Structure 1
Amino acid sequence: MRWAVGALLGISLSVTAAEPPLRFAMPDSWAMPMVQYERGRPTQGILYDIMLSLATQVGVPAQFHVLPRTRVQSAMEHGEIDVRCYAAQSWLPNQSGDYIWSLPLLFQRDLLVSRQGSPTSVEAKTLPRQSIGTVLGYTYPTLQPLFDSGQLQREDARNQEQVLEKLLAGRYHYAVSNQWTLDWLNQRLPAEQKLQGVAVLQEQQVGCYVRNDPNVPVQRILRTLLRMKMSGEIDDIIRLYTGSSEGKP
């Protein structure tokens, strides 16, 4: 019996070892606390930890592909990537290909942010003509009419962290930031320099989607994501980096 159990375990490990790695999309526009990049490779962060835990629990190696944000969907369509996380179907209205979406896993809140000394509450549509900090390639539906009319102008930076650094340096009076990055940065600033959210621009549930391919363990991935969400593991990872859970409305 002991030999039989050992043999079965050996077969199981061989099968797992033979499975290809799970290839994750990592947009280079992400910054902490989502992901930290060192020499072009992800090393820590909320999304990195979630993806690494997912692959480990599915029983396959994780492989991270750092790409420009504009290349991610093309890489999915060409079979170069298996899983993309931190996405919403409304962001991809013209999505082509065969994919299966997870349940909502994370809550994203986009804020209009300013330095201290500015009004603590504003309406974007009442702002005078000016530039505001934005991330290159990101879309901001609630602000797009103001960009189109010329009332507001985008000043793009490569990632969210750089946008807030330019705000701190006084390059502009307002910037757009997600709640996580704002919380992460404020943890590291003295009280008199902390940035403040002055308007909620958009709130949205986001999740992951998986390329529906026979070589990808799609159902194991989706079941594992569900278990990670229901067990509180995902909220624990968020809390580790931001000091709070995902902050549902």
Structure 2
Amino acid sequence: MRRLLTLLLLWTTHSLAEPPVLRFSIAESWSMPLMRVQGGQPVEGLLFDLMQAMARATGVRPEYHVMARLRLQQAMEDGDIDVRCYVSTQWLNDRPGNFVWSVPLIHQRDVLVGRAGDSGPTRPEQLPVQAIGTVLGYTYTTLEPFFAAGRLQREDSRSQELALKKLQIGRYRHAVSNALSLHWFNQRLPAGERLQVLAVLEEQSLGCMVRNDPAVPTQALLRALVRMTESGEIARIVGRYGGG
């Protein structure tokens, strides 16, 4: 009996010492420099570094849930995740009421991309009827009227990297990419083969959404992100992956 009580005390002490778990969502469509997933878990990337820094700043243990991008909003509504990062207010049809926005963390530019030497149209309204490389589940506000009118057709890929690879081999003439991913993709190519920016389509400020629940250190996380922004830590993380 005494041994059982001792084991129970040790187990309780160990449990109390365990830091709380914070569940981060990871979109399957992310590729480097945002995130590289191996064996079902993230191992490197800008967003991985950001999430690790958030966990350290608030003393929690990060738990990563990899899922299809189209399932992210439902996971928020079902309470399956605590933090969703790399998100814009423009991307959500309905914001789950139990989530709180962080300060803006990353400034993103979505650009129209062509192959090396492409001297064709540089504005969406000038493009001939064609399929254009896009990423499954992403919303492209500037191009939506052209998709709706049938002027352009989406050709979705599961990741940004795959969309750019298809452009490189000539699957289509144009694609849409965020500037960070394009820079990362191009740095592996000879100068004469690099994909080129034809136009800036839109710019967005991206942040994180944190579940507002007593079990989650919501305010501590939001304050930590403010400190990380003001100290330049966020900028340094972005800078490591080619952002400015």
1:51-92 per-position Cα deviation (integer Å, ceiling 9, x unaligned): 011101100111110010111111111111000011112221
Determine if the alignment matches structure 1 residue 157 to structure 2 residue 157.
yes
1:28-65 per-position Cα deviation (integer Å, ceiling 9, x unaligned): 01111000111222100000100011101100111110
Please report how far the alpha carbon of residue 93 of structure 1 lies from its aligned counterpart in structure 2 after TM superposition: 3.2
Question: Which residue of structure 2 aligns with residue 62 of structure 1?
Answer: 62
Q: Which runs of 5+ in 1 are unaligned?
A: 1-12
Given the two structures, how large is their TM-score scaled by the length of structure 2? 0.91
Moved more, 212-221 or 116-125: 116-125
Query: Does the 8 Å CA contact 1:113/1:177 hold for their aligned counterparts?
Result: yes
Question: Which residue of structure 1 aligns with residue 112 of structure 2?
Answer: 112
Question: Which residue of structure 1 aligns with residue 47 of structure 2?
Answer: 47
Question: Which residue of structure 2 aligns with residue 79 of structure 1?
Answer: 79
Whole-Å separation in 2 of the counterparts to 1:68 and 1:61: 23
Query: Does the 8 Å CA contact 2:110/2:178 hold for their aligned counterparts?
Result: yes
Structure 1 residues 19 and 143: CA distance shift in structure 2, 3 A: same
Residue 32 of structure 2 aligns with an amino acid whose one-letter code is M
Question: Which residue of structure 2 aligns with residue 144 of structure 1?
Answer: 144
Please report how far the alpha carbon of residue 149 of structure 1 lies from its aligned counterpart in structure 2 after TM superposition: 1.2
Whole-Å separation in 2 of the counterparts to 1:211 and 1:17: 23
Moved more, 137-146 or 119-128: 119-128
Residue 68 of structure 1 aligns with an amino acid whose one-letter code is A
Whole-Å separation in 1 of the counterparts to 2:123 and 2:40: 38
Residue 171 of structure 1 aligns with an amino acid whose one-letter code is R
Whole-Å separation in 2 of the counterparts to 1:198 and 1:142: 15
Please show how residues 131-210 of structure 1 align to structure 2 within 5 Å: 131-210=131-210
Whole-Å separation in 2 of the counterparts to 1:196 and 1:185: 11
Question: Which residue of structure 2 aligns with residue 21 of structure 1?
Answer: 21
Given the two structures, how large is their TM-score scaled by the length of structure 1? 0.89
1:102-133 per-position Cα deviation (integer Å, ceiling 9, x unaligned): 11111011000011111276111111111110
Residue 52 of structure 1 aligns with an amino acid whose one-letter code is Q
Q: Which runs of 5+ in 2 are unaligned?
A: 1-12
Q: Which runs of 4+ in 1 moved over 6 A?
A: 13-16
How many residues end up aligned between the 2 structures?
Answer: 232
Whole-Å separation in 2 of the counterparts to 1:89 and 1:15: 38
Measured on the aligned residues, the alpha-carbon RMSD in Å equals 1.6
Identity of aligned residues (%): 51
